[in-house]
Structure 1
Amino acid sequence: MHPSYPAEPYKIKVVEPIAMTTRAQRLQYIQEAGYNTFLLNSQQCYIDLLTDSGTTAMSDNQWAGMMLGDEAYAGSKNFIHLQEVVREYYGFKHIIPTHQGRGAENLLSRLCIQPGDYVPGNMYFTTTRAHQELNGATFVDIIIDEAHDSQIDLPFKGNVDIAKLQKLIDEVGPERIPYVCVAVTVNLAGGQPVSMANLRAVHALCAPLGIKVMFDATRCVENAYFIKEREATHHHQSIRDILKEMMSYADGCTMSGKKDCLVNIGGFLCMNDDELYQRASEMVVLFEGMPSYGGLAGRDMEAMARGIEESVDYHYIHHRIAQCRYLADQLVAAGIPIVQPVGGHAVFLDARQFLDHIPQDEFPAQTLAAQLYLESGVRSMERGIVSAGRNKQTGEHHRPKLELVRLTIPRRVYTYAHLDVVAQACKDLYARRHEIRGMKMVYEPKFLRFFTARFEPLVAQTASRPAAAPQVAELETA
């Protein structure tokens, strides 16, 4: 194994068979799914890179913890353990468990936002912005301009532009900004990290003005790894210590435990403010459950507490980042356009360049994700104009500069050999990219349309490869 790509720091104990399908079957499946990879069944997918959310393989230690679940309705010992671990590793005083990250986003938005408020953030995330807007806020993007260019290679492309934040404060006043939402890392920029120096600067600007800083901490351990690797002042520090310092520059966070907490379900809302915690404790009962379990069983909280402890192991996170780089390096060597630099949880294909003949209103990223599945059985997801949704005032599409397909690598699930298959599928599709035509949307839900929207090709796609490719060998390369 090449030294840049360390071997898996675990051994396999249990295996799960995965689907082997023909191209004819995949054509039927993607048509039935309305060319939306979210609407495929998992049994129809060969290598499933739809998301890293809840798709982690838990450790034997976590499974052992599941057997120690205390399912008391209030005051579960597993909640006490989770609370202790969050305080030790993240440093926040209070924790409210939720069923997943968007449960925490819902609570935070309802608790803090008043109609007419502005919530600045380093690039939007779909569910986060939806909750903010539903509660009357306007999202304002304050990420550095370079984050919107897939080919600019910067070490901390997720940084907040301090001048943009200051400009918004000057224009609307600090009283109209309930909190700044800082994602660590930034998903829709390609999994890009935020530097410690930038986090410190955001906190220094906001604290004297009484503006809270709330992290979207979903992939905070990946962010800590990049700080250790790229910020000279932190080379010598452990992931655990870097993570604790990162969190010290926030007043709280929302967390989807389904990512860096290494579990299949769960999340939480954290804060240091006693009054906010009291209000959150009252509201969570309406939407989730008691403050000591939220939307979770005791066994799930135990698995999450143990996952937080495991997540800061250097060998684990080093291998995780290396898997992303392994796939990215193969694609770059083949001339396939991806977001640079490679982030911590996925490789993002630049669909705008990959399918440069398809205009954005014909959904190039959605098209590319559907075609990749048809080509190989690899499921990915769109992160472009469909995910961006519509302007709530004008009804027009938001048109992000980044039109991406996310190849998301689940934690501790696939091997380098699986990633070889993904790379080859991308190469094969890239070789015939000019044959591909765009799509039209034939069903659009009101909210978060990327989950359930349906599409049709603008030009009928052929169901077979060129005659020279034997049908019986459809999946020999997949």
Structure 2
Amino acid sequence: MVAYKSKAVERIRLPGRDERERALEEAGYNVFALAADDVYIDLLTDSGTGAMSDEQWAALHRGDESYAGSPSFERLESAVADVMGFPYVIPAHQGRGAENVLYGSILSEGDVVPNNTHFDTTRAHVANQGAEAVDCPIEGAHDLSAAESFKGNFSVERAREAVSEVGAENVPLVISTITNNSTAGQPVSIENTRRVRAFADEIDATFVIDACRFAENAFFVREREDEYAEMSVADIAREQLEYADAVVMSGKKDGLANTGGFVATRDEALFERCKSRAILYEGFPTYGGMAGRDIEAMAVGLREAVTDAYIEDRIEQVRTLGSMLEEADIPTYTPVGGHAVYLDAGSFYPHLDSSEFPGQVLVCELYREGGVRGVELGSFAFPDSDRPELVRLAIPRRTYHQEHFEHVLETVKRAYENRDTVDGLRLATEPEIPELRHFTAELEPVSR
């Protein structure tokens, strides 16, 4: 069932192939450096790129820009308490600002942090505190066609191995990311969340849920975990988050906003520590680097995200693109997750070694063939890892329609048909922080 109609439109343009070739070369074969005007269908990220609802646009006009004590913050505080169950909230300008506030308040040099799978900024923030990020995906998480319902789950067994090597006193924090972005947007079950909660208690660690796609995760729980089949997405989301001591949130995903984020907790002592750090890095704790109008939009978006009409439409859009690609025999990660379709770049280019970045090659070919921008999540984004070579096509919320997906399909098909003629890439320049190299590094074609 269609849940929306359009009230505003934006004209888009497909540059000619020669223009695309030139833009790609000038960008150093890194699509982050492309001008947005040169992109036709932008699937780089679903973070802050969606369309806001009429209720959110109306809320912008209520925005109060007071430095301290803004009623806009009070409405965000109320939304977080009602939707997520946390009484203490500290806003931040976006998710990575919230990560800096929370992880900088907990971690010290030499600490170890287990996570079902760290995403890029999370890993970088852990490393920035002198700590070590340890991924604990379940067996089969990197099997692109395994039929497991919750491939995003946290492996407590792997985490225990990490703890046994360093000692529980060096593991102050355990994180579960829902949905698991680095494992193709796969969901995490509530049963697994209970196990992680028990594990955190066992080693006396703070349990944090990275909740930026908590509503999408709750949809999959209702669909795949029998205990929750008759519950609303709102109630499921609230229960899953109750197991955490704190959440870190990018409001640019399931906050349905264009900017913003927050840390939320029920631990008053942790709240006080985070408040001090937030003042240093983000701003006073009732605005945290956000304009009051954006706080208002996020407060409304949180409530909208857990409505059945919204979440069913959201997941159906992602599944539509996934089904179109599968029917065309395009190699993808299955089952399709919550916010994106992931292409199996390793199957596109088996003739390319991981050192030639097959995922980044596919990203460039998608732009070259049809002006479609995706993002690589393989050996380029995650150096020294054993993850599969994936390309994420992240779908902005409430933005694109069937005709856009048909263009994406034709673009991917052309790239697949030409797969045997494509050469690899190598690094030309690289930033100092390897965890973030895919944002700014430049590449060049490998000459054969």
State the TM-score, normalizing by the size of structure 1.
0.92
How far apart, in 1, do the equivalents of 2:269 and 2:415 lie?
55
Where do residues 105-254 of structure 1 align in structure 2 (5 Å cutoff)?
105-254=99-248
Give the partner amino acid of 2:387: K
How far the C-alpha of 1:155 sits from its partner, in A, is 0.7
Q: State the SS of the aligned residue for 1:225.
A: helix
2:65 pairs, out of 71, 82, 85, with: 71
How far apart, in 1, do the equivalents of 2:425 and 2:14 lie?
27
How far apart, in 1, do the equivalents of 2:347 and 2:139 lie?
19
1:47 pairs, out of 38, 41, 58, with: 41
Q: Which runs of 5+ in 1 are unaligned?
A: 1-5, 390-397, 461-478
1:372 pairs, out of 355, 366, 374, with: 366
How far apart, in 2, do the equivalents of 1:358 and 1:370 lie?
15
Change (3 A) 1:161 1:399: closer
Q: State the SS of the aligned residue for 1:215.
A: strand
* Structure 1 residues 233-259: Cα deviation after superposition (integer angstroms, max 9, x where no partner): 101000100000010110001101001
How far apart, in 2, do the equivalents of 1:25 and 1:208 lie?
58
Of the structure 1 ranges 206-215 and 193-202, higher mean CA displacement relative to structure 2 is found in 206-215
Match in the other structure for 2:253: 259
Match in the other structure for 1:449: 437
Match in the other structure for 2:78: 84
How far the C-alpha of 1:441 sits from its partner, in A, is 1.0
How far the C-alpha of 1:446 sits from its partner, in A, is 1.4
2:407 pairs, out of 421, 431, 435, with: 421
* Structure 1 residues 52-100: Cα deviation after superposition (integer angstroms, max 9, x where no partner): 0010100110011001111001000000010011011101121100000
How far the C-alpha of 1:208 sits from its partner, in A, is 4.3
How far apart, in 2, do the equivalents of 1:33 and 1:293 lie?
36
How far apart, in 2, do the equivalents of 1:415 and 1:79 lie?
34
Give the partner amino acid of 1:172: V
Give the partner amino acid of 1:45: V
1:280 pairs, out of 267, 274, 279, with: 274
Q: State the SS of the aligned residue for 2:219.
A: helix
1:59 pairs, out of 53, 57, 61, with: 53
How far apart, in 2, do the equivalents of 1:57 and 1:400 lie?
35
Where do residues 9-48 of structure 1 align in structure 2 (5 Å cutoff)?
9-48=3-42
How far apart, in 2, do the equivalents of 1:399 and 1:210 lie?
29
How far the C-alpha of 1:153 sits from its partner, in A, is 2.1
How far the C-alpha of 1:270 sits from its partner, in A, is 1.1
How far apart, in 1, do the equivalents of 2:424 and 2:145 lie?
23
How far the C-alpha of 1:169 sits from its partner, in A, is 2.8
Q: Does 1:355 align with 2:349?
A: yes
Of the structure 1 ranges 406-415 and 266-275, higher mean CA displacement relative to structure 2 is found in 266-275
Of the structure 1 ranges 9-18 and 19-28, higher mean CA displacement relative to structure 2 is found in 19-28
Q: Would you say the 8 A contact 1:181–1:213 is kept in 2? A: yes
* Structure 1 residues 10-65: Cα deviation after superposition (integer angstroms, max 9, x where no partner): 11000000122110110011111111111101100111111000101001100110
Q: Would you say the 8 A contact 1:100–1:257 is kept in 2? A: yes
How far apart, in 2, do the equivalents of 1:140 and 1:455 lie?
28
Q: State the SS of the aligned residue for 2:324.
A: helix
Match in the other structure for 2:97: 103
How far apart, in 2, do the equivalents of 1:236 and 1:250 lie?
23
1:412 pairs, out of 398, 407, 415, with: 398
Where do residues 421-440 of structure 1 align in structure 2 (5 Å cutoff)?
421-440=407-426
Give the partner amino acid of 2:438: F
Where do residues 304-343 of structure 1 align in structure 2 (5 Å cutoff)?
304-343=298-337
Q: Does 1:458 align with 2:413?
A: no
How far apart, in 2, do the equivalents of 1:21 and 1:256 lie?
32
* Structure 1 residues 407-466: Cα deviation after superposition (integer angstroms, max 9, x where no partner): 110000001221111011111111111011101110111121111111111149xxxxxx
How far apart, in 1, do the equivalents of 2:313 and 2:69 lie?
37
How far apart, in 1, do the equivalents of 2:140 and 2:431 lie?
32
Identity of aligned residues (%): 46
Q: Would you say the 8 A contact 1:149–1:401 is kept in 2? A: no
How far apart, in 2, do the equivalents of 1:191 and 1:385 lie?
18
Give the partner amino acid of 2:99: E
* Structure 1 residues 97-141: Cα deviation after superposition (integer angstroms, max 9, x where no partner): 000000111112211111111000001210001110110111111
How far apart, in 2, do the equivalents of 1:375 and 1:401 lie?
26
Q: State the SS of the aligned residue for 2:150.
A: coil
How far apart, in 1, do the equivalents of 2:14 and 2:241 lie?
44
Give the partner amino acid of 1:39: A
Q: State the SS of the aligned residue for 1:180.
A: strand
How far apart, in 2, do the equivalents of 1:116 and 1:20 lie?
49
Give the partner amino acid of 1:190: A
How far apart, in 2, do the equivalents of 1:329 and 1:431 lie?
19
Moved over 4 A (4+): none
Q: Would you say the 8 A contact 1:345–1:408 is kept in 2? A: yes
How far apart, in 2, do the equivalents of 1:85 and 1:284 lie?
20
